[in-house]
Structure 1
Amino acid sequence: MADTDDVVKRILTTYDTITVVGASASPAKAAHRVPALMQRHGWRIIPVNPRGGQILGEQAYRTLAEIPEQVGLVDVFRPAERAPEVARQAVAAGATALWLQLGIASAQAREIAEAAGLAYVENRCLAIELRRLGLDAPGLRA
């Protein structure tokens, strides 16, 4: 666990933008509430949702490949069986960290991410870790 805690802290203190695969426009869903909380704490959110449109006031992209800028941290709100494909897409998009939300774990996604040198966290919630560690986005710290 200590190793995972180190990775969690490194991710939350390094990345100021979070690309959220499976972001939802529905306030009832964790895939909306968690990115909204991260946004309130200063992180920029790039939503990825097959419907596109706007989520949390940001342009939503249909796929990771459509994002017109460098992707760093990819946060995943998709079922575990979809995680390996998201991991492959994250690697192809040049991501440097992959985070699978609470309840999502995938040995195959871990293998893909770690083989490509990505920092990797699974079965953890960004919002819970944020509160546990008492952090804000890197740009907001003095």
Structure 2
Amino acid sequence: MSDDITDDLEDVLAHETIAVVGCSSTPGKAAHDVPKYLLDHGYDVIPVNPFADEIFGRDVYDALSDVEEEIDVVCIFRPSEEVSEIVDSALERDDVDAIWTQQGIRDDDAAARAEDDGRTVVQSRCMMVEHRRRSA
């Protein structure tokens, strides 16, 4: 991550298409409410969850590698120990500019690999909170 996290946050939040790995179909869970907020605020949210068929009236992909649309940002709602594998999947795609792990989720080694590959990384921050801060 660059020294100026504010610039990184602004850059990532300026993107439009967000694949949410671990998106939940259960209202009340952060993995549901945060992507719903993003969807309601103009982002194109692509749910990724192998245990759901539809979330927010949208088809759900089993894995990041299955997503056919272009992805700008991969937002991760999975435990920290799963981040490495998700980051590797993101790095296999040429379209992913940024990787964002939600509050409490981080993997510094995976983040370093992504940054070394030219991707922006934001760890352990909530996209909804950061968006609200900048929209107030």
Fold similarity call, TM over 0.5? yes
Q: What is the Cα deviation at residue 52 of structure 1?
A: 3.9
Match of 1:140 in 2: none
Match of 2:124 in 1: 123
Distance of 1:108 and 1:22 partners within structure 2: 20
Q: What is the Cα deviation at residue 70 of structure 1?
A: 2.2
Q: What is the Cα deviation at residue 83 of structure 1?
A: 0.7
Q: Please identify, of 108-117 and 118-127, the stretch whose mean Cα deviation from structure 2 is larger.
A: 108-117
The amino acid across from 1:113 in the alignment is A
Distance of 2:84 and 2:113 partners within structure 1: 7
Distance of 1:110 and 1:23 partners within structure 2: 21
- Offset from partner CA, 1:65-111 (integer Å, 9 cap, x none): 10112222000000011111111001112211100001111111211
SS at match of 2:23: coil
Q: Please identify, of 23-32 and 49-58, the stretch whose mean Cα deviation from structure 2 is larger.
A: 49-58
Match of 2:5 in 1: 4
Distance 1:131 1:2, change over 3 A: farther
Q: What do you get for the CA RMSD once the two structures are aligned?
A: 1.4
Distance of 1:3 and 1:115 partners within structure 2: 17
SS at match of 1:46: strand
Listed as ranges, the matches of 1:82-101 within 5 Å are 82-94=82-94, 95-101=96-102
The amino acid across from 1:123 in the alignment is S
Number of residue-to-residue matches in the alignment = 134
The amino acid across from 1:132 in the alignment is R
Distance of 1:85 and 1:43 partners within structure 2: 25
**Unaligned ranges ≥5, structure 2:** none
Distance of 1:93 and 1:62 partners within structure 2: 16
Distance of 2:3 and 2:10 partners within structure 1: 11
Do the aligned partners of 2:16 and 2:72 also contact (CA within 8 Å) in 1? Answer: no
The amino acid across from 1:5 in the alignment is T
Do the aligned partners of 1:47 and 1:58 also contact (CA within 8 Å) in 2? Answer: yes
Taking structure 1 as the reference length, the TM-score comes to 0.89
Q: What is the Cα deviation at residue 2 of structure 1?
A: 6.2
Match of 1:27 in 2: 27
Do the aligned partners of 1:70 and 1:93 also contact (CA within 8 Å) in 2? Answer: no
Match of 1:72 in 2: 72
Listed as ranges, the matches of 1:41-80 within 5 Å are 41-80=41-80
Do the aligned partners of 1:64 and 1:93 also contact (CA within 8 Å) in 2? Answer: no
